Chains A and B, each alone.
Chain A
Amino acid sequence: MQLGVNIIVLAAIYALIACGYVLIYRVSRVLNLAHGELMMLGSYLLLATASTFTGHPLVAIAVALVLSLCVGALVYLFLMRKMAGEMVLAAVLTTIALGILLRGVMVIVWSAQQQYPGQALGVVNPAIALPGGARISTMAALLVLATAVIYGALFAFLRFSRWGVRMRAAGQNPLLAAQRGINLHAIYALAWGLSTLTGSIAGMLISLDSGLTGTMVLIGLKAFPAALVGGLDSLVGALFGALIVAAAEISLIHYVDPLLSDVVPFLVLIVMLIIRPWGLFGTREELDRV
């Protein structure tokens, strides 16, 4: 029972992070390997706002969320926009370089020590007993809830809203989308903003649950196999991918070896790349022609 709860919580974490990878890849075909760092930046922003707006946790959270949305959009406008039309590798490397830069800056500003935004916000995190003898911390429960709400909102946004439809169009065929008068730069900036926003929510909830350290970057990277297993351009896929990766990770840690924790997602990834490189729900990339 506890195992099941652990799997659900981890799957929620991975799914929430993975949707950031999916959003950016689906819209602009760029793999953002700085997602872990952006996510960590989100939680540090929460730490900063928590000390600015002491006594108003909700205000602090809201301000941090808006800031992280802006950070994502700014990253696109000032950096990734310049990489449009470059090689795939160049764009990916730019995100890696951005990640290194961010990590350095975060340590300079906030130091490398473990921090607890929960204390700064004055949030308590009691464990809740579930039927069946399992326990779950409040923040973990909140995280599962947040994942459900955010995925619901994203589906609705992409399906029904004007900007969501534009986003899908830009992802399907940028040239035609641009000719129909869709502002590609605005769409891409929005995708980066939303991706950073969802990543930051994940980062904030994780840091409220278990503190804030440099290991968060690794969590961000481990969520990437979840996105790929489901298919890099499919949100539904990210949910299933997260569930598969989380189930594999928790059960292997439990039954085989705790040291496996950091490799399991990548083992799943390798297996998936061998069997079905485009993922469970992803679209097959076209063959190239002369």
Chain B
Amino acid sequence: MSRRMPWASGYFRTGYAQDFKLIETRLERVSAGLFAVALSVFPFVASPFQLDLACQVFLAAIGSLSLMLLTGYAGQISLGHAGLLAAGAFTAGILFKEFGAPFWVTLPAAAAVGALLGIVFGLPSLRLRGLYLAVSTLALHFVVVYLGGEYETKRGYSTGIVIDPPSIGGYAVINPRIWYFVLLAAAAATLFICLNLIRSRTGRAWRAIRSHETVAEALGIGIASYKLLAFVVSSAITAVAGALFAYYRGFVSVEAFSLFLTIQYVAMVIIGGMGSLLGALLGAMFVTLFPYWIEAALAALPGAARYASVLFAVNYAAFGLVMILFLVFEPLGLVGIWHRIQTFFLLWPFKHRQVTGTNR
């Protein structure tokens, strides 16, 4: 067991095992426990609307965690996230419609399709870098969405595919509270997968590739295989998120998977803070709840009825503005702000000015 850590003077690690520990201090253990309790009590005190918001946040968190693995850790830019979500959702929808497959078939199938697409999305990354890679994933997004739309029109589901709720032992999951726990479990599982990946060999290889590809290669890291692995893992998780989204909504349609959805996910990663899983979670929460805050703020303004017709446009504009503000003034995102607050209290009453913006 580790020694008791002195509080204000920083963390000391005296062995490699301590580097791998997820929970290092007693404060962390206590706050994690309190957080878990709060999460499990929440559905019994929350209104149905708040419950729905929480479910949306969990779904978004799965997607943003997987994008964070790819962009924040492996450093591969992807603008095809909505395409992968669509792939997962359509896998679930098509398997359900054509074969009446239950969820325990469609979810692994979605993961498999996602992994396969991950290879397709990832192959350009072996040759392309930065901007060109982003563009190639963007192009693939349009291809996937086109295929989905083609299926809808050819099979006569032009308004969308309706999916029955998943059933476990003949009992259909429709109760929002059960959905809450299902999605919470899915998000927690994703978080643990990501945590374990990034503190192991794979995660170190990814970070090396992000920092400098040539150096990473010189260190003996197989660039091609690790890049593809990043795409495969991230895409498989994303596709499962898409399938869960389809089940949660009970409905699949290409309209839901526009380019704007990709931008929202990228915004989660940016606003949350690059290269931090906590950032992915904070970003998912922020971006999901943001439109509702705007709505509430507009409703509080005088003459609320006047804005009702342009509400979505106001949302759009405000979202763009917030993204620009974060990119220009707070590139480290919400996590950067959080770390600054932490440092402030750790060092209080002394002051600490950050020298450079390399806080990871």
Within the complex, which residue of A107, A221, A267, A277 is in contact with B313, where a contact is CB–CB below 8 Å?
A107
Cβ–Cβ < 8 Å partners of B315 in chain A: 104
Verify if A93 is at the interface (C-beta below 8 Å from B).
yes
Confirm or deny: B234 has a beta carbon within 8 angstroms of a beta carbon on chain A: no
Most buried by B among A79, A92, A93: A93
Q: In A252-290, which residues have CB < 8 Å from any B CB?
A: 259-260, 262-263, 266-267, 269-270, 273-274, 277, 285, 288-290
Taking the closest CB of chain A, its distance from the CB of B303, in whole angstroms, is 14
Q: Closest B residue to A217 by CB, please name it.
A: B259
- Residue from the set B127, B129, B327 with the largest chain A CB neighbour count within 10 Å: B327
Closest CB in chain A relative to B277 CB, distance in Å:
19
A270 contact from B77, B139, B263, Cβ within 8 A: B139
Interface string of A23-55 (1 = CB under 8 A from B): 000000001000000000000000000000000
B157: interface (CB < 8 Å): no
Q: Which of B41-49, B168-176, B192-200, B213-221 sits within the interface?
A: B213-221
Taking CB atoms, residues of chain B closer than 8 Å to A100 are 260, 263, 316-317, 319-320, 323
A33, B143: Cα distance in complex, Å: 19
Shortest CB distance B145–A (Å): 8
* A190 interfacial contact with B, CB 8 Å: no
CA distance A267 to B134 in the complex (A): 15
Contacts of B218 in A (CB 8 A): 290
Question: CB distance B214 to A289 under 8 Å?
Answer: yes
Q: Is A1 engaged at the interface, CB distance under 8 Å to the other chain?
A: no
CB contact under 8 A between A101 and B153, given known A92-B134, A266-B143: no
Binds B, one of A81-89, A154-162, A164-172: A81-89
How far in angstroms is the closest Cβ of chain A from B273? 13
B166 at the interface (CB under 8 A from A): no
Residue of B nearest to A99 (CB): B320
A contact residues around B77 at 8 Å (CB): 89
B244 sits at the interface (CB 8 A):
no
A197 contacts partner chain B, Cβ-Cβ < 8 Å: no
Interface status of B128 (Cβ within 8 A of chain A):
yes
**A290 and B323 contact, CB distance less than 8 A:** no
Instruction: Kindly list chain B residues whose C-beta atoms are within 8 Å of the C-beta of A86.
Output: 331
Contacts of A221 in B (CB 8 A): 259
**How far is B132's CA from A101's CA once the two chains are assembled, in angstroms?**
24
Q: Judging by beta carbons under 8 Å apart, are B323 and A103 in contact?
A: no
Q: Is A263 in contact with B142, judged by CB distance below 8 angstroms? A: yes
How many angstroms between the C-alpha atoms of A269 and B79 in the bound complex?
15
- On chain A, the residues within 8 Å of B317 by CB distance are 100-101, 103-105, 108
Interface hits, B105-137 → A, CB 8 Å:
124, 127-132, 134-136
How far does the alpha carbon of A274 sit from the alpha carbon of B128 in the complex, in Å? 9
Residue in B130, B132, B213, B310 whose CB lies within 8 Å of A273: B132
- Residues of B with C-beta under 8 A to A266: 138-140, 142-143
Q: Which listed residue (A89, A224, A262, A289) contacts B146, Cβ 8 A?
A: A262
Contact partners of A216 in chain B: CB under 8 A: none
Establish whether residues A97 and B136, one from each chain, have CB atoms under 8 Å apart when the complex forms. Answer: no
Distance, CA A274 to CA B146, complexed state (A) = 20
Q: Is the CB of B324 within 8 A of A94?
A: yes
For window 142-186 of chain B, which residues contact chain A by CB distance below 8 Å?
142-143, 146, 149-150, 153
What chain A residues lie within 8 Å of B289 (beta carbons)? none
Residues in B302-325 with C-beta less than 8 Å from chain A: 310, 312-321, 323-324
> Contact size class for A?
35 or more
**How many residues does chain B have at the interface if contact means C-beta atoms less than 8 Å apart?**
48
In contact, B328 and A273 (Cβ under 8 angstroms): no
The CA-CA distance from A285 to B128 in the complex, in Å, is: 10
Known A-B contacts A96-B263, A101-B317, A103-B316; A260 and B146 likewise in contact (beta carbons under 8 Å): yes
Contact B124 A98 (CB under 8 A): no
CB-nearest residue of chain B to A289: B214
Residues of the A chain whose Cβ atoms lie less than 8 Å from the Cβ of B331: 86, 90
For B150, the chain A residues whose CB sits under 8 A away are 259
A31-B327 contact in complex given A104-B315, A263-B142, C-beta closer than 8 Å: no
* Interface status of A220 (Cβ within 8 A of chain B): no
Contact A101 B131 (CB under 8 A): no
- Tell yes or no: B266 within 8 A of A by CB: yes
On chain B, the residues within 8 Å of A99 by CB distance are 320
Give the CA-CA distance A104 to B323 in the complex, in Å.
Answer: 13
Q: Please provide the chain A residues from 100 to 125 with a CB less than 8 Å away from any CB of chain B in the complex.
A: 100-105, 107-108, 111-112
Q: Could you say which of A90, A101, A290 contacts B320, with CB atoms under 8 Å apart?
A: A101
CB-CB under 8 A from A20, the residues of chain B are none
Cα distance A285–B324 in the bound complex, in angstroms: 28
A258 smallest CB distance to B (angstroms): 11
A140 at the interface (CB under 8 A from B): no
In the complex, B270 has a CB within 8 A of chain A = yes
**Shortest beta-carbon distance, B56 to chain A, in Å?**
20
Most buried by A among B132, B139, B215, B218: B139
* Closest Cβ neighbor of A224 among chain B residues: B135
The answer to whether B130 and A88 touch across the interface, beta carbons within 8 angstroms, is yes
A15 at the interface (CB under 8 A from B): no
Residues of A within 8 A of B328 (CB): 79, 82-83, 94
Taking the closest CB of chain A, its distance from the CB of B25, in whole angstroms, is 33
Q: Cα distance A273–B313 when bound, in Å?
A: 35
Pairs A–B under 8 Å by Cβ, sample size 18? A83-B327, A89-B77, A89-B134, A92-B134, A94-B327, A96-B323, A97-B267, A97-B327, A100-B323, A103-B317, A104-B316, A105-B313, A221-B259, A259-B149, A267-B139, A270-B143, A277-B127, A288-B213
6 further interface pairs, Cβ-Cβ under 8 Å (given A100-B320, A107-B313, A108-B314): A31-B135, A104-B315, A260-B146, A269-B135, A289-B214, A290-B218
Residues of A whose CB lies within 8 Å of any CB of B are 31, 79, 82-83, 86, 88-90, 92-94, 96-105, 107-108, 111-112, 221, 224-225, 228, 259-260, 262-263, 266-267, 269-270, 273-274, 277, 285, 288-290
What 6 pairs across the A-B complex have the smallest Cβ distances? A104-B317, A101-B320, A104-B316, A100-B320, A107-B313, A97-B323
